[in-house]
Amino acid sequence: MISVPEGLADTLTWPCKAGVISRSHSMPATPARAAAFEILLRVERDHSYATELLHSYRNAKLSTADHGLVTELVMGILRWRSLLDQNLAAASSQKLERLDLEVLTALRLGIYQLIFLSRIPHRAAIFESVELVKGARKRSAASFVNAVLRKISAAAPLAIQDATDAGTLAATSAHPGWIVDRWAGRYGLGIARQICEYDQLVPETAIHVHGQAADELNQAGIKLFPGRLLTSARRVPSSDVTKALAYREGRVSIQDEASQLVARLVGNGERILDCCAAPGSKTQLMARQNPAAKILAADLYPHRARLLRELAKAPNIAVLTADARRLPFPAAFDRILADVPCSGTGTLARNPEIKWRLRPDDLIDLQSRQIAILKSAVAHLAPGGRLVYSTCSLEREENEAVVETVLAESRDFKLIDCCPELEQLQNSGELAWKDIDSLLSGPYLRTLPGTHPCDGFFAAIIERQS
């Protein structure tokens, strides 16, 4: 069971609008549950990302205890959604797909608390879900929600069976079957199980610190631990680093260790292009390791480019709004990072909503965009220059297949083996991970959640012939 903070507030401060709690229609739900309810609705309706909503200005008004419960409820429900729905379907007299989203969301909030949160009384979990439905103007469904959750509350505790095949693993670990089938077929059932288990845990926060920021964080009471993959990385198991002055001033970046490793692979240059740069954590790390270089950071979307300008504190970074498939300049660069938009299947521990949105056809659509970006990017490599192509995907269509397609069309470029680059990082004391072979798939870098203490990343190094 999972424990949650006590001391929840008992008044509602969330705004009233369609699909959100209304004071005039019910007793007020607690702020944490009202906030979780709204976030889950927006994730479903607007395809918003939960992590962004959890850090929005509205949630900043919540107490520390309430914010902790909101995060637990939202991320827990998104991680375990299919398993929750399986148990709801068994207790419901109606098919779940016929329920209004507000009703289904309230049921998910209730069952998650009943199954996973031992410190919350069952009567409180049920009552709050009923009140959420009433407040969302679905009063006619209140008795239905009450009956379903009471039936689940009276049932035996949930037992999760050991997975001996991909189908059982998908069901018990709350992953779509088609994704687990792919992983089991490619990596084997044992590795697929490790990935699924990692995805269902709360990942540690990893950061990159600049200058004396580590000392400042320690003095502020934020306890840091050494990185598991990189010696320059730090882990923050419990504290909220976003409240620290060093973070607000840009001297600390939240960045998964595998993401930091990809930026390290770019190496040193005088003219560097980051062609899909936002939100900019890799851009800033490259700027710090290349303080004399000129770095051009491009992003397709103006609002993301504006955010990048605000966050990119280094004076050697210039930001441009541009489509990486059609870069609007003839300049050549000696180092390029093409960290392309991808499915994100290597980041499901942090972004669990992805697994419920992704469809097999999406991989082909993404691949066509990735090929176009890589073709455009390599055309801007100077002779002897190197490009790092990377994704946070575990899927071959977005990784090896993209690189192989682009390299097959031109003899001007060659693939560089990542092994010597990792050995160099290890010899310099930067790479803390001892088993370099586990980080490799042929000439490519590949990290796997569960096998490695980080997100799943892929990287290829491409060099232009002199």
Active-site residues, by number, are: 392
DSSP 104-139: HHHHHHHHHHHHHBTTS-HHHHHHHHHHHHHHTT-G
Contacts 24+ apart (CB under 8 A), 191-194: 191/448, 191/450, 191/451, 192/166, 193/163, 193/169, 193/450, 194/448, 194/449, 194/450, 194/451
Q: Coil, helix or strand for 230?
A: strand
Q: Are strands 444-446 and 233-236 parallel, antiparallel or unpaired?
A: unpaired
How far CA 445 is from CA of 199, 262, 294, 416, in Å, comes to: 20, 9, 26, 11
Taking phi first (over 0 means left), then psi (-120 to 50 degrees means alpha), and beta for anything else, what does residue 211 get? left
For residues 196-231, b (16+ Cβ closer than 10 Å) or e, as one string? Answer: bebbbeebbbbbbbbeebbebbeeeebebeebebbe
As a whole number of Å, the end-to-end CA separation of the chain is 60
CB 433 within 8 A of CB 452: yes
CB 5 within 8 A of CB 64: yes
Q: Which two tokens stand for residue 377?
A: 């990017």
Which of 9, 56, 57 has its CA nearest to residue 33?
9
Residue whose structure tokens are 């001007």: 412
Distance CA 272, CA 279 (A): 17
Distance CA 127, CA 120 (A): 12
- At residue 35, what is the residue type? A
